Structure 1
Amino acid sequence: MFKITALPTDEVRTLQQGGPDDYGATPEHAVSTGAGNPCRHCLQNIPEGAPMLVLAHRPFAATHPYAETGPIFLCAEPCERYEGDKLPEILTSSPDYLIKGYGQDDRIVYGTGAITPTDQIGAKVKDIFDRPDVAYIHVRSARNNCYQARIDRG
């Protein structure tokens, strides 16, 4: 059993109010084109025509060689944080995703990374969590490597 962990609401609200991203820049304002603009807080695609934010995000507390930073989207207006253990909308809208495990030290656990078909994510997550050295998993775009969500043990 596992749970999908979206970005924390307090961090998202700070960004929605103009707080700096992980590069110290103000998030860019844009208009969603619909599919392909997934919000990392509600874990839904931002509707076409809706305002959104584009910003740099590093899903790690500290910088280190494995602390990847990349672009993400957020709803520009407050949205509800996704809570659940089923795959959210943004993790069912692509044929596959890159998933990989990380240890307690926030380093990639080698041998866990795999491009995984969407319908096999649950089974692959179980396989990765069978390793005791894996603390959590990141889900990323298989094509652009953009961070999507975190998966924690349930």
Structure 2
Amino acid sequence: MTTTHTPHPIPSQVLKELRTTDDAGRPMTPFTDEEGGAPLRCCLRRSEPGERITLVSYAPLRRWAAETGAAPGAYDEQGPVFLHADPCPGPPDPAALPFTDAHRVLRRYSADGHILGGRLVDTDFPSALTEAFADPEVAVVHVRAVEYGCFLYEVRRA
């Protein structure tokens, strides 16, 4: 049996809010990305040189909890994410798992928003996600960068 794991970018309504005031209460400050390569959480691809982007504070578990009724308590955290400063069309391939070109951490959460564990992944992301969701307690998985611990995207139980 093949399991499909769909990455979820930050939802468009949340992007609209973050482009006004981020989850830390700060206004958006756009800039031109001269070098490119920033992992954009709105469209799940890397920025191109010359694109207008922004770095905002985002609370992914808090946003998910508000939608699902979970109560993450101390696991509610916020951190920096890059976005296009203006609306974009979203992921070029909505089914593709992005940012798998480096070591990543898969952080597993229960339906009540509590952390269940994590795993370092360097290859075979689909198998690692299948393994994570083999635990019936896992409701959502955050894919995070190893270097800074930044949230990249979430994968929800199908």
Normalized against structure 2, the TM-score is what? 0.84
The aligned counterpart of 1:142 is 146
Take 2:107 and 2:18, find their aligned partners in 1: how far apart are those partners? 27
The aligned counterpart of 1:100 is 107
Query: Could you tell me which of 95, 102, 126 is aligned with 2:130?
Result: 126
In the TM superposition, structure 1's runs of 4+ consecutive aligned residues that sit over 4 Å from their partners are none
Take 2:28 and 2:103, find their aligned partners in 1: how far apart are those partners? 28
Tell me if structure 1 keeps the 8 A contact 2:138–2:157: no
Take 2:120 and 2:48, find their aligned partners in 1: how far apart are those partners? 27
The aligned counterpart of 1:24 is 25
Alignment of 1:26-105 (within 5 A): 26-32=27-33, 33-35=35-37, 37-61=38-62, 64-82=73-91, 84-88=94-98, 91-92=99-100, 94-105=101-112
Q: What CA RMSD, in Å, does the superposition of the two structures yield over aligned residues?
A: 1.6
Tell me if structure 1 keeps the 8 A contact 2:10–2:41: yes
Superposed CA offset, 1:20-60 (max 9, x none): 1111111222222211x111111111111211111111002
Query: Could you tell me which of 114, 136, 140 is aligned with 2:119?
Result: 114
Tell me if structure 2 keeps the 8 A contact 1:3–1:153: no
Normalized against structure 1, the TM-score is what? 0.86
Take 1:60 and 1:127, find their aligned partners in 2: how far apart are those partners? 21
How far is 1:84 from its partner? 2.6
Read off the aligned partner of 1:107 and give its amino acid letter: H
How many residues matched? 145
Unpaired runs of 5+ residues, structure 2, are 66-71
Unpaired runs of 5+ residues, structure 1, are none
